[in-house]
């Protein structure tokens, strides 16, 4: 009897722990029920789609499966595939437009949804249920087992976005497609494409050819962005690029095939130096020597949110020719992009040149306005009328609230959450994308290791984000978005490093039920995804393994404190100029540092092996903590 009880207990534990080890999904579904058994994918497996709307997803799955398995599985119209895609004849209200159910047994897998988007997201979940080798770009021999599960899943928010800035650094058409494919895997449905700024104009406007002939190119420069030399007279601008309208159509279709809407951004009235370099008459200064900025310093920031532009990068709100110019731009942009929104920026608009301009002063007098900030409201209202005439809705950063904007405008809250709170209380739809939780260009780990930038954002803080602020009606919060500005991101490889794993945390913030979120469980799923990224050749950051080091002064003594985001790590350190390992001092409680020029070295271990970076903090670094 005792042996029987032991066997039953071991069997139960195998099921429980097998479930934890097998079903590691990001984002976490609404409901997962695992049972015993597997379906094993073989060369005899088939993929069936009951409706033609399901065909594209079925064919996409076949292509994804055949490369690593070496099989020749074909998608065909059928109601009895080993992996079957079905659309509900009568929609199930619970799962909505993007939800799905996935049932796998020893006989096969059935994915059901109300609409094609749900089938696509069900397919992404199915791929995560397969062994990690499914990410391989070459044939691999393994048992292609899919655990028996019943999943019911649907998103919490309708807007789940990632923004990529291609102005500061240009990314090719192929790189943009790769990035879109990566975010689609984690059920993002919006790609915010920051196409214009001071550092490059990236979209072909056929009626204004100089925007790309001049505005898409800058002089070559190396070094830290913001510290590079200014362009020299006569120096050739050879760095940059742009997307033709045919490129853009191709990328839009690629995204639509993956159920991603592309929201283009034309950043105005500030951040317009590339446009002004092409057409200097658009600014108040009308300086014919204006160049596309190569990453040189062109502003002074005063630490309280105020700043001064040293070069005029702002369109002139009092000049009707500016609105004629923008009408041409938005006519072509609106014709290219089928979605309802066009993002018009509106952020960080310096108004010092407006103050000095006689035309702006005359316009203020005509409008009977006293504050120069109100001119931005005037500008934005005119832009909104242009967009409305083309059947589009205005979307902008939270500065568009300054000076007044129509209730129909949608606001992206980036300067913390306050702009989103104010906008929602005014009745605006809001996308929450605050610097404090969603800026993927920020450092994600130890500042002495990470490439330098002005702020940091750890994975755990991303994961703990709640997009609906307290006291705000949730109906006004469309969802959230992570933003990747690329001043310090020159390559797609580095863009991947900055996006993952924080992009997984935000995906869960925007998709999964709030009550399902669990940090300890999430980091285990993150490690599973690390293994998949390794096989797929997609870069990612391991900063979650690096400790967080702080110092304080207590009763005149220096106290060292170290903590870890990742549970279960051992932290070892030295303060005697020796290299730390698992035979040096182990951190277990705050440590009193001795007087003198102490250098701290710290490293994390797990299961007796180093897992984090070696961190070295010299005396001057320790003081800053």
Torsion sign, CA atoms 373, 375, 381, 387: negative
Active site (annotated) includes residue 441: no
CA atoms within a 13 Å half-sphere pointing along the CA-CB vector of 152: 7
The interaxial angle of helices 358-367 and 374-389, nearest 10 deg, is 80
CA distances from 117 to 86, 111, 125, 181 (A): 12, 12, 13, 15
The residue from 115, 135, 197, 204 that is catalytic is 197
Tell me the CA end-to-end span of the chain in Å, nearest whole number: 61
Q: Catalytic pick from 24, 192, 271, 428?
A: 271
Structure tokens at 418: 């306050």
Q: Dig out the tokens for 94 from the structure.
A: 């619970």
Distances in whole angstroms, Cα of residue 157 to Cα of each of 122, 322, 417, 443: 17, 37, 17, 27
| Tokens of residue 390, six digits | 């083309």
Q: Where are the beta strands (DSSP E) in 422-464?
A: 430-432
How far is residue 611's CA from residue 599's CA, in Å, rounded to a whole number? 21
**SS3 state at 7:** helix
Beta bridge partners of 153: 100
Output the CA angle 211-213-216, nearest 5 degrees. 65
At 37, phi and psi to the nearest 5? Answer: 100, 175
197 is catalytic: yes
Residues 308, 299: contact at Cβ < 8 Å? Answer: yes
Residue listed under structure tokens 């913390």:
416
The angle that helices 492-499 and 502-511 make with each other, rounded to 10 degrees, is: 50
Q: Is residue 473 among the annotated active site residues?
A: no
Neighbour-count burial for 502-515, b at 16+ CB within 10 Å, e otherwise: bbbbbbbbbbbeee
Whether the CB-CB separation of 570 and 464 falls below 8 Å is answered with: no
**Triad 31, 117, 432: Cα angle to 5°:** 75
Answer for the pair 60, 174: CB distance below 8 angstroms, yes or no.
Answer: no
Look at phi and psi of residue 376 and say left if phi exceeds 0, alpha if psi is from -120 to 50, else beta: alpha
Q: Which one from 348, 357, 384, 398 is the annotated catalytic residue? A: 348
Measured CA to CA, the distance from residue 163 to residue 260 in angstroms comes to 12
Integer CA distances (angstroms), 3 to 8, 14, 61, in order: 9, 16, 46
Show Cβ contacts of residue 559 under 8 Å, excluding neighbours closer than 6 positions: 551, 552, 553, 590, 591, 592, 593
Give residues with Cβ within 8 angstroms of 167, minimum separation 6. 194, 195, 196, 197, 198, 199, 200, 201, 202, 267, 274, 486
| Phi, then psi, of 377 in degrees rounded to 5 | -60, -40
Whole-angstrom Cα distance, residue 333 to residue 395?
Answer: 14
Quote the DSSP letter at residue 113.
Answer: E
H helices present in 517-610, as ranges: 519-536
Which residues are part of the catalytic machinery? 197, 271, 348
């Amino acid at each position: 009897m005792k042996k029987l009880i032991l066997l039953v207990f071991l069997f139960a534990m195998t099921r429980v722990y097998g479930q934890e080890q097998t079903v590691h999904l990001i984002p976490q579904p609404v409901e997962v029920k695992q049972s015993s058994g597997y379906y094993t994918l073989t060369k005899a497996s088939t993929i069936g789609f009951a409706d033609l709307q399901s065909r594209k997803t079925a064919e996409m799955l076949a292509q994804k499966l055949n490369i690593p398995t070496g099989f020749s599985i074909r998608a065909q119209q059928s109601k009895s595939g080993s992996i079957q895609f079905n659309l509900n004849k009568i929609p199930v209200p619970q799962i909505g437009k993007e939800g799905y159910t996935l049932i796998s047994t020893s006989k096969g897998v059935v994915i059901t949804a109300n609409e094609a988007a749900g089938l696509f997201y069900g397919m992404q979940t199915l791929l995560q249920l397969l062994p990690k080798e499914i990410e391989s770009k070459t044939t691999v021999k393994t048992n292609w087992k899919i655990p028996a599960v019943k999943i019911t899943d649907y998103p919490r928010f309708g807007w789940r976005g990632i923004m990529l800035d291609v102005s500061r650094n240009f990314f090719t058409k192929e790189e943009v497609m790769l990035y879109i494919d990566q975010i689609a895997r984690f059920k993002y449905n919006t790609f915010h494409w920051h196409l214009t700024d001071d550092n490059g104009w990236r979209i072909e406007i056929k009626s204004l050819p100089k925007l790309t002939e001049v505005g898409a190119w800058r002089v070559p420069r190396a070094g830290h962005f913001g510290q590079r030399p200014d362009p020299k007279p006569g120096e050739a601008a050879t760095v940059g690029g742009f997307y033709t309208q045919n490129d853009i159509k191709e990328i839009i279709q690629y995204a639509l095939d993956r159920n991603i809407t592309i929201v283009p951004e034309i950043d105005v009235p500030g951040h317009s130096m590339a446009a002004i370099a092409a057409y200097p008459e658009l600014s108040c200064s009308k300086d014919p020597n204006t160049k596309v900025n190569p990453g040189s310093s062109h502003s002074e920031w005063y630490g309280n949110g105020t700043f001064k532009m040293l070069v005029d990068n702002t369109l002139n709100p009092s000049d009707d020719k500016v609105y004629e110019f923008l009408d041409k731009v938005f006519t072509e942009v609106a014709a290219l992009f089928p979605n309802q929104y066009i993002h018009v920026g509106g952020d960080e608009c310096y108004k010092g040149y407006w103050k000095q301009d006689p035309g702006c002063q005359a316009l203020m007098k005509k409008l009977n306005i006293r504050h120069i900030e109100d001119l931005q409201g005037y500008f934005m209202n005119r832009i909104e009328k242009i967009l409305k005439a083309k059947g589009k809705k205005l979307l902008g950063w939270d500065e568009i609230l300054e000076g007044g904007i129509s209730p129909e405008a949608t606001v992206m809250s980036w300067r913390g959450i306050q702009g989103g709170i104010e906008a929602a209380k005014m009745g605006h739809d809001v996308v929450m994308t605050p610097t404090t939780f969603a800026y993927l260009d920020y450092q994600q780990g130890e500042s002495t290791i990470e490439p330098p930038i002005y702020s940091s954002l750890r994975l755990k803080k991303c994961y703990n984000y709640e997009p609906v602020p307290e006291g705000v009606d949730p109906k006004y919060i469309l969802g959230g978005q992570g933003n990747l500005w690329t001043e310090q991101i020159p390559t797609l490889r580095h863009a991947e490093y900055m996006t993952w794993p924080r992009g997984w945390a935000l995906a869960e913030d925007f998709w999964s039920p709030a009550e399902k979120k669990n940090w300890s469980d999430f980091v285990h799923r993150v490690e599973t995804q690390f293994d998949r990224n390794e096989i797929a050749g997609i870069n990612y950051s391991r900063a979650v393994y690096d400790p967080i080091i702080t110092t304080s002064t207590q009763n005149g003594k220096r106290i060292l404190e170290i903590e870890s985001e990742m549970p279960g790590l051992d932290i070892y350190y030295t303060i005697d100029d020796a290299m730390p390992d698992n035979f040096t001092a182990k951190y277990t409680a705050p440590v009193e540092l001795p007087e003198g020029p102490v250098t701290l070295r710290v490293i994390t271990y797990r299961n007796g092996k180093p897992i984090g970076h070696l961190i070295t903090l010299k005396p001057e670094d320790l003081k800053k903590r």
